[in-house]
Amino acid sequence: MIHPATARRLNIKAGARLLVESEQAKCPVTVRLSDAVMQGVVEVSPGATDTLDLFATAHGSALRAVRVRLGRA
């Protein structure tokens, strides 16, 4: 999820497919907009199977927040 103002600033539309990439992994996501998310933040649920690796660490634990890059999928 992305705040609508952040999406406008980055020219991202609801329903767009993006590639979310952390130091650990990358995965495609479908954009949903919500003003419940802080501006400048991308919220990705670690509960989804294809997003789990974004939050993994080298020690087998999971991070609650990671810095990510967005790209077109």
pLDDT at res. 16:
92
Please report which residue ranges of 1-73 form alpha helices under DSSP H: 4-9
pLDDT averaged over 10-residue windows placed end to end, the chain, 73 residues: 90 89 78 90 68 56 56 63
Domain that holds residue 41: 4-72
> Locate tokens 């539309």: which residue?
13
pLDDT at res. 34:
93
- For residue 64, give the DSSP letter: S
pLDDT at res. 20:
81
CA distance 50 to 27: 7
pLDDT at res. 44:
76
> Considering its fold, how many domains does the chain have in total?
1
